[in-house]
Chains A and B, each alone.
Chain A
Amino acid sequence: MVNSSGWDDVKQAFFSPEEFKSAFPDILRAFWINVKIFLIAEVFILVFALAVAVLRGLPGPVFFPIRAMAIVYVDLFRSVPTILVIYILGFGVPALALPGVPIDPLFWGIVSLVLVYSAYVSEVYRAGIDSVHPSQAAAARSLGLSHGQALRFVVIPQAVRRVIPPLLNDFIGLQKDTALVGLLGVVEAFRQSQIDVAASFNYTPYIATALIFIALTVPMARLTDWLIARDKRRQQAGRLA
């Protein structure tokens, strides 16, 4: 690669130490917006996705409309590209100029991410709930607990423990996708790097942004690996006992 004819130009355009030094502090400061988006979205996703998973699992014909709504929601937001959801909600809803409805692009960016990622995460929760053996729910119901109580005290606590690794995997994806909110004009790390690039005609700020994302995502990935390994150890220990 370094022997290619274009390397000198690329080196100058992407790996300029001076540009890096001048852009990095701004981008790092803007990255706090990404962290904020991530943290706020994550809290809502964890709660909302669980609600969707529970609604989708309601038994009996009475709840068919609710189950159907949950399925339509999950299908819809898993099919539409995240970037389109962000554009449609971020530009469309504020343009309606409805009284009392926020027009802040940051708000609608977060709403979009919550809607998209909750669809994925609800499926992760559902897989976890389904993985708890039906005899656990039967034991809870046989003691006189209601369906809701059996879910809350017996099934969901076991399900959540099992799906922590895949949940973290989705949150690594969410960390990256916070950059998409920049498309609405929110000055987060990616948007800040675009501004820097436009001012200097040098692409080094993109590399700086990538490094910042890596610095957050890789530790999260290692944490996920560690949790998976720990889980495996525990299960095997249980089997030997």
Chain B
Amino acid sequence: MSSGNGHALVIEGLRKSFDKLEVLRGIDLSLAEHEVVCLIGASGSGKSTLLRCVNLLEPIDAGRIFVRGQDVTARGVDVNELRRGIGIVFQSFNLFPHMSVLANITLAPRKALGLSKVDAETRAEELLARFGLADKRDEYPDRLSGGQQQRVAIVRALAMQPGLLLLDEVTSALDPELVAEVLAVIRELAAEGMTMLIATHEMGFARDVASRVCFLDAGVILEEGTPAEIFGAPHQPRTQQFLQRIVDAGRL
């Protein structure tokens, strides 16, 4: 299994259909450790599906996915074990509304990792303090702003100490003034060397934070390169068209 070695994530020939609609049509992508890769592209281009396939929330039709050299698409893989090492943060936060912030964060470390209540809470409180949420530990998610909820969701993923973080348009459901506080958190994680695969519509953010940018179109990675290459001099007409529209909309 040489294809997975030395990389946090390797995706080979990934295909995924929903009924007759082929959403991913052969994706090849690899992430080195500590690398931050941004996926850009129009809605429906397959960004979210790609992320959900990586931690096997969606069963795949063809191709292989290696996480740290381990073929996670092989038979008999313990999906629960695999997911403990991969954090995912969703567009719609998906916090558990019947639990306090602290319970949201400590649930998986306690039940999936077997941490004691005290250890899990210590870990959660450290993370909450780091991201300016210490006073929210006993609040319920519905009482927080969108930006606070999304930061709690990020903390919940980090509490599992994942080696790879998947971010699925984490600012798309937020009011513009709340976007910055969430992006600041992600920037900080990138600076610390967290390996991240980020689907985003925030082009300015992608340009700043990504070591590589992939443009997805109709289920394939049409173009891939450094932010300077993709945003500065894209080769593909579809990429040029997409970015022109973003510029016209005043979002880059």
Contact = CB atoms under 8 A, between A and B. Distances in A.
A241 to B, nearest CB: 7
Given A135-B90, A153-B111, A143 B96 contact: no
B94 A136 contact: yes
Contacts of A135: 90, 92, 94
Interface string A112-147: 000000000000000000000001101111111110
Interface residues of B, number: 27
Interface string B111-125: 111000000000000
Does more than half of chain B's interface fall in helix, strand or loop, or is it mixed?
A: mixed
Interface magnitude class on chain A: 10 to 19
Contact of B112 (A143, A158, A241): A143
Contacts of B111: 145, 149, 153
A211 B226 CA distance: 81
Main secondary structure of the interface of A (DSSP, over half): helix
Interface string A171-186: 0000000000000000
A138 B112 contact: no
Given A135-B94, A153-B111, A241-B142, A144 B57 contact: no
Given A143-B83, A144-B80, A154 B92 contact: no
A161 interface: yes
26 contacts: A135-B90, A135-B92, A135-B94, A138-B57, A138-B90, A138-B94, A139-B90, A139-B96, A141-B80, A141-B83, A142-B87, A142-B88, A143-B84, A143-B156, A144-B80, A144-B81, A144-B108, A145-B80, A145-B111, A149-B111, A153-B107, A154-B107, A158-B97, A158-B98, A238-B142, A241-B142
